[in-house]
Amino acid sequence: MDYRKPVTFGENWSPSRYQVLPYFAVERAIVQRPDVQRILDLGCANGWNMSRFGQYGRASVGLDVVMERLQLARAHGPVLAASGLALPFADQSFDLIYIQHVLHHIGDVTQSLHEVRRCLRPGGVLFLVETVEDSPLIRWGRRLYPKWMGDEINAPFTFAGLRQTLADAGFQVQEAQQYSVLFWVWEIFPDQAPLMEKLTPLFVKLERLLLRMWRKYSAHCFYVAVS
Ligand X SMILES: C[S@@+](CC[C@H](N)C(=O)[O-])C[C@H]1O[C@@H](n2cnc3c(N)ncnc32)[C@H](O)[C@@H]1O
Which residue lies nearest ligand X, judged by its C-beta?
Answer: 43
Cβ 61 vs Cβ 40: under 8 Å = yes
Q: Which is nearer to ligand X, 129 or 181 (CB)?
A: 129
CA angle 40, 42, 43 (to 5 degrees): 145
Q: What Cα–Cα distance (Å) separates residue 215 from each residue in 25, 108, 178, 179?
A: 19, 28, 7, 6
Q: Which of 37, 49, 27 shows the shortest CA–CA distance to 94? A: 37
CB of 98 to ligand X, least distance (A): 8
Cβ 63 vs Cβ 82: under 8 Å = yes
Q: By CB under 6 A, name the binding residues for ligand X.
A: 1, 3, 43-45, 48-49, 63-66, 69, 83-85, 100-102, 105-106, 148, 151
Q: Look up residue 86 and give its DSSP letter.
A: S
Q: Which is nearer to ligand X, 83 or 200 (CB)?
A: 83
Q: Which is nearer to ligand X, 74 or 199 (CB)?
A: 74
- Rounded Cα distance between 180 and 128, Å, is 16
Q: What Cα–Cα distance (Å) separates residue 70 from each residue in 73, 77, 163?
A: 5, 10, 30
Cβ 126 vs Cβ 120: under 8 Å = yes
CB of 174 to ligand X, least distance (A): 21
- Rounded Cα distance between 194 and 15, Å, is 15
184: how many CB neighbours lie within 10 A of its CB? 16
Q: Which is nearer to ligand X, 2 or 168 (CB)?
A: 2
CB of 87 to ligand X, least distance (A): 9
CB of 202 to ligand X, least distance (A): 25
Cβ 107 vs Cβ 151: under 8 Å = no
CB of 201 to ligand X, least distance (A): 24
Q: Which is nearer to ligand X, 1 or 199 (CB)?
A: 1
Q: Which is nearer to ligand X, 75 or 199 (CB)?
A: 75
Q: Which is nearer to ligand X, 185 or 199 (CB)?
A: 185
CB of 205 to ligand X, least distance (A): 25
CB of 27 to ligand X, least distance (A): 12
